[in-house]
Amino acid sequence: MGGTKFDVIVVGAGPAGLTAAQQLASRGGFKVLVIERGKKPGSKNVFGGRIYAHVLDRLYPEYVKEAPVERWVRRERITMMTEDSWTTVDFETTKVEHKSFTAYLTNFVEWLDKKAEAAGAVVVSEVPVDSLIIKDGRVVGVRAGNDEVYGDVTIIAEGINRLVLERSGLAPPKLSPEIVALGVKEVIKLSKEEINDRFNLDEDEGLAWVIAGFPTHYLPGGAFIYTNKEAITLGIVLYLSYGYQLDVPIHDLIEEFRLHPMVKRLIKGGQLLEYSAHLTPVAGINAAPPKLYGNGYLVTGDAAGFLLHLGILIRGGVDFAMESGRLAAEAVTKAHDLGKYDEDTLSVYGRLLEDSFVLKELKTFRNAHKVLIEPRLYSDYVRMINNLLRRYFEVDGTPRKLGSTLLESKGNLTLIDLARDAIRLVMNL
Ligand SMILES: Cc1cc2nc3c(=O)[nH]c(=O)nc-3n(C[C@H](O)[C@H](O)[C@H](O)COP(=O)(O)OP(=O)(O)OC[C@H]3O[C@@H](n4cnc5c(N)ncnc54)[C@H](O)[C@@H]3O)c2cc1C
């Protein structure tokens, strides 16, 4: 690896890095090196299970036939869960619109890797990059052990655990707990027929389900369930700033979630195939490093804080990463045409991001995490909704109107809390 000079070096073979590499190698004919620390691209990637497909329409129009799609999402559920009751909003559509699909990120990243390598990018695995080589205030390459590789421009796509940026002094030394959550995930094998029966799905139809309350012991975060072809993935995401309030280790949470009466019957007879854990950014654009580009470098994907996490819903991650990789490639191509990769020339990346859905969405929801980190949403409101419906549906000879039932069910919440939280949610989400 050492000794050779490349046009572009990409740190990290995830959705962001591989998209940038494929675009540069195929469209610009650039000599691109992608460096991945895992055994192979995809081996270190963890996620819940759903990819929004809009970016693929533009990047790989043939993806519907080619990509490792598990199921097309046709049902969405949101559940407020307590120990012994649960209330679910269930959305279904008869239209199969190919808007999002469930997938194993490992398989999806392997597919992106094939695309990048077929375009001519060189991908090396099992090489952890230690730091960037910075000369005269300009990034000129990367250092991995005793090896040094040089490139005109470096694209940093190392994910949320951005040690390369930190060690190179381009991001604060430690991720603060307010901007990240810890996710744990399990894959449970069930037959296709069992999944279709238990989740009321037809062939190739998928379900995306998020659950708040009991799974995180009523702390900010939530649980998820996605249906794959012959397995379901389930997991928990917990805002790290509330980790200290947790009375059990996080891996016990997933165990308790699996044993909850609602989940237990859905996974009955299933076989645990896989367990993984990973950090994920939750503060959106507030988790961005101080600069998204500078002399000789660009930052993409999770490393740049490009993930939209709305309390219990991940509204964009892989799609944001891929789009930022595509825009980084476009910026490098434009800078190449001008013959320099200084901060000023690479600032086109900032403008492309501003015009894209990536920064538009992240800026729209800039304050969402400040509202969604409110513990009442995951505790008092979850209990209130379940109490309200329990009392409303209970017929025991006592006349009950909705208004008085609401007042009886609100527990610790005051009417001021209800009004204030409703306004803050409507204004920020
Ligand atoms: C529990 C959980 C659930 C999620 N659910 C969803 C979901 O349902 N839908 C969705 O769209 N998104 C989801 N996400 C987010 C999604 O996984 C990320 O947004 C996406 O993977 C980001 O892509 P990336 O390329 O920026 O980073 P990553 O996918 O993290 O890839 C970074 C790559 O860089 C490599 N790397 C890191 N450091 C180095 C180094 N020093 N040297 C060399 N290589 C290095 C890593 O090994 C990795 O392969 C979830 C995340 C978690 C944790």
Query: pLDDT per position in the chain (429 positions), as tens?
Result: 656 789 999 999 999 999 999 999 998 789 999 999 999 998 776 677 899 999 999 899 999 999 999 999 999 999 999 999 999 999 988 776 768 999 999 999 999 999 999 999 999 999 999 999 999 999 999 999 999 999 999 999 999 999 999 999 999 887 788 888 899 999 999 999 999 999 999 988 999 999 999 999 999 999 999 999 999 999 999 998 888 888 898 889 999 999 999 999 999 999 999 888 888 888 888 888 999 999 999 999 999 999 888 877 888 899 999 999 999 999 999 999 999 999 999 999 999 999 999 999 999 888 887 788 888 999 999 999 999 998 888 888 888 787 888 888 888 888 888 888 888 888 877
Cβ of 223 closer than 6 Å to ligand 1, yes or no, is no
Q: Whose CA is nearest to atom 2 of ligand 1?
A: 47
Instruction: Fill in the DSSP letter of residue 103.
Output: -
Contact between 121 and 22 under an 8 Å Cβ cutoff? The reply is yes
Beta strand 122-124 with 71-81 is unpaired
* Nearest atom, ligand 1, residue 18 CA: 25
Any idea which residue has 């037959």 for tokens? 191
pTM for the model: 0.93
Q: Which of 73, 68, 101, 93 is nearest to 206 (CA)?
A: 73
The structural architecture, per CATH, of the domain 178-281 is: 2-Layer Sandwich (3.30)
CA distances for 386 relative to 219, 238, 391, angstroms: 17, 22, 9
> Is the CB of 323 inside a 6 Å radius of any atom of ligand 1?
no
Ligand 1 atom with least separation from CA of 320: 19
Mutation pick for ligand 1 pocket among 1, 44, 76 (CB with most ligand atoms within 8 Å): 44
From the CA of 40, how far away is ligand 1's center (Å)?
14
Query: Chain centroid to CA 179: how far?
Result: 13
Residue ranges of E strands in 84-220: 86-92, 100-102, 122-124, 131-135, 138-144, 147-156, 180-189, 205-213
Q: Is the CB of 110 under 6 A from ligand 1?
A: no
Residue with CA nearest ligand 1 atom 38 = 158
Distance (angstroms) between ligand 1 centre and the Cα of 60 equals: 20
**Ligand 1 pocket, 11 CB below 6 A?**
yes
Q: Note the pLDDT of residue 412.
A: 85
Residue 176: partners with Cβ closer than 8 Å, 6 or more residues away: none
**Nearest partner of 382 among 195, 126, 211, judged by Cα:** 211
Task: Measure 59 CA to ligand 1 centroid, in angstroms.
Answer: 19
Tell how far the Cα of 212 is from the centroid of ligand 1, in angstroms.
Answer: 23
Please tell me the distance between residue 14's alpha carbon and the centre of ligand 1 in angstroms: 6
Which residue of 10, 18, 40, 47 sits with most ligand 1 atoms within 8 Å of its CB, as the best mutation to test the pocket? Answer: 47
Mutate to test the pocket of ligand 1, among 158, 240, 274, 324 (most ligand atoms within 8 A of CB): 158
Is the beta carbon of 317 within 6 A of some atom in ligand 1? Answer: yes
Residue spans of the domains in the chain: they are: 5-71+102-176+284-369, 178-281, 379-428
Sequence-separated (6 or more) residues with CB below 8 Å from residue 420: none
Residue 320 CA to ligand 1 centre (angstroms): 11
In this structure, which topology does domain 5-71+102-176+284-369 adopt according to CATH?
FAD/NAD(P)-binding domain (3.50.50)
Q: Is the CB of 236 under 6 A from ligand 1?
A: no
Name the DSSP letter for residue 81: E
Q: Is 277 touching ligand 1 by the criterion CB < 6 Å?
A: no
Q: Whose CA is nearest to atom 9 of ligand 1?
A: 50
